[in-house]
Amino acid sequence: MDLKGRNGGEFCRDGDPSETELALYDWVLEHQEVDTERAAAHLGLDPNAVRDALDRLRRSGLVQRTAGDPARELAVGPEVATGAHIALLEQDIREKQRQIAGIQAAAARFAPAYQRHAACGARGVEVISTLDEVRALLNRLSLQCRDEVLSCQPGGGARDHEPMEDALARDRPLLERGVRLRTLYHHTARFHGPSQVYVAAASALGGQYRTSHELFGRIIIFDRETAFLPTTDGAWGAVVIREPNTVAFLCGLFEQKWETATPYANAGDEGFAKVAGELDRTILHLLSAGLKDESVARRLGMALRTTRRHIADIMDQLGAESRFQAGVAAARSGLLDDA
């Protein structure tokens, strides 16, 4: 039989054979000829449907031209029709298996270096250098989290809308299965529209949020077992800590700040004057401690330009021409005592 030019994926490629195909195949076997008009009349089927069925039987190789008489077609056994198709598929499988073996062999050469560093991570500290790896591990631990997530997110007001949507998509399943979620933001997050939307949505699901003018740094802790800290190079990597004593210390640091922080509220809801007054006193306190503008901005989670504008406004309100004079005036008025 001539299978030349047939594709190994054609056998029954249109799905399971139809009743018309099965009936026509049986008729051709019985009559040892292909005659769609006679078959349609004998089977009581529509001639067009029979012709379509014959085309599918030909493509599947179940009806083939004979070698001795190319003008004649006959039905052949299923094992004959499928033999060439299966052989092509098996050849393709063997090639895929060869490619898989090659990939595995190449990857295995990198395994010793990875295992050395993974062993270091298993002892308590692991450094992850890329943002994609950090996100993958955060998502995995979010799915595995059982009881609690503690999070400190400095600079909450500097976030744009997209990360807030990502955070809500990640946090919603946690909250819906009863995980306790507590997050600290800078007070500046109260003035930030996307932050307000996120906190409102997550709070409705049980999330708890508080704010403070000063925070100790970015941190995420899952189940008091695994903590994420930022790397010091300013990149988007993370230091992952699993050592129990260190994680317990970080949890204690979070709890201490949580107790003194203020439950989240929009600046307008709580009173703009109150929030602004707290901000001014904190800035004066930091300036009196000798911090530069850049350090003050970083501690408060504010843009440098915004920080300098606040400093200028404070000096103007105090009638001071220098920061030293502003510090003296603030001390005399008792503002530093309230910071």
| Per-residue pLDDT tens digits for 180-212 | 999 999 887 887 778 888 888 899 999 999 988
- 258 and 161 within one domain: yes
Residue 274 pLDDT > 70? no
Distance of CA 217 to the CA centre of its chain: 23
Per-residue confidence (pLDDT) for residue 262, from 0 to 100: 87
Per-residue confidence (pLDDT) for residue 8, from 0 to 100: 40
Written as one string, the DSSP assignment of 261-302 is SEE---HHHH-HHHHHHHHHHHHHHHHHTT--HHHHHHHHT-
- 96 and 195 within one domain: no
Average pLDDT over residues 293-317: 79
Residue 9 pLDDT > 50? no
In a domain, 120, yes or no: no
Q: Which of 109, 141, 168 delimits the end of a domain?
A: 109
Domain count, the chain: 3
The better pLDDT of the pair 175, 236 is held by 175
In a domain, 115, yes or no: no
The two structure tokens encoding residue 11: 């056998």
| Per-residue pLDDT tens digits for 97-148 | 999 999 999 988 988 887 766 665 556 888 898 888 998 899 889 989 999 9
- 258 and 167 within one domain: yes
Measure the CA–CA gap between 68 and 81, rounded to whole angstroms: 18
Per-residue confidence (pLDDT) for residue 270, from 0 to 100: 56
In a domain, 209, yes or no: yes
| Per-residue pLDDT tens digits for 135-187 | 889 988 998 999 999 999 886 544 544 566 777 888 889 999 999 999 999 88
pTM: 0.54
- 242 and 133 within one domain: yes
Residue 232 pLDDT > 80? yes
Q: Which of 267, 287, 304 delimits the end of a domain?
A: 267
Domain that holds residue 295: 271-338
CATH of the domain at 34: 1.10.10.10
In a domain, 117, yes or no: no
pLDDT winner (highest mean) among 218-232, 277-291, 295-309:
218-232
| Per-residue pLDDT tens digits for 10-41 | 555 556 789 999 999 999 898 888 888 988 99
Residues 239, 160: contact at Cβ < 8 Å?
A: no
Type and span of the H or E element at 312: helix 304-318
Least confident of 15-19, 85-89, 275-279, 314-318: 275-279
Measure the CA–CA gap between 265 and 185, rounded to whole angstroms: 11
The better pLDDT of the pair 4, 62 is held by 62
- 79 and 156 within one domain: no
Contacts from 41-49 at CB under 8 Å and sequence distance 24+? 45/20, 49/20
Per-residue confidence (pLDDT) for residue 15, from 0 to 100: 61
- 261 and 140 within one domain: yes
Average pLDDT over residues 77-102: 90
- 143 and 20 within one domain: no
Q: Which of 267, 297, 312 delimits the end of a domain?
A: 267
- 214 and 196 within one domain: yes
Per-residue confidence (pLDDT) for residue 268, from 0 to 100: 56
Residue 215 pLDDT > 90? no
CATH of the domain at 251: 3.30.870.10
Residue 235 pLDDT class (50, 70, 90 cuts): confident
**Average pLDDT along the chain:** 82
Per-residue confidence (pLDDT) for residue 158, from 0 to 100: 43
- 62 and 177 within one domain: no
- 292 and 158 within one domain: no
Residue type, 321: E
- 261 and 130 within one domain: yes
In a domain, 54, yes or no: yes
- 190 and 95 within one domain: no
How far from 248 is each of 37, 212, 258, 259, CA to CA, in Å? Answer: 85, 22, 15, 17
Express as a percent the part of the chain with pLDDT over 70: 83
The better pLDDT of the pair 337, 2 is held by 337
In a domain, 119, yes or no: no
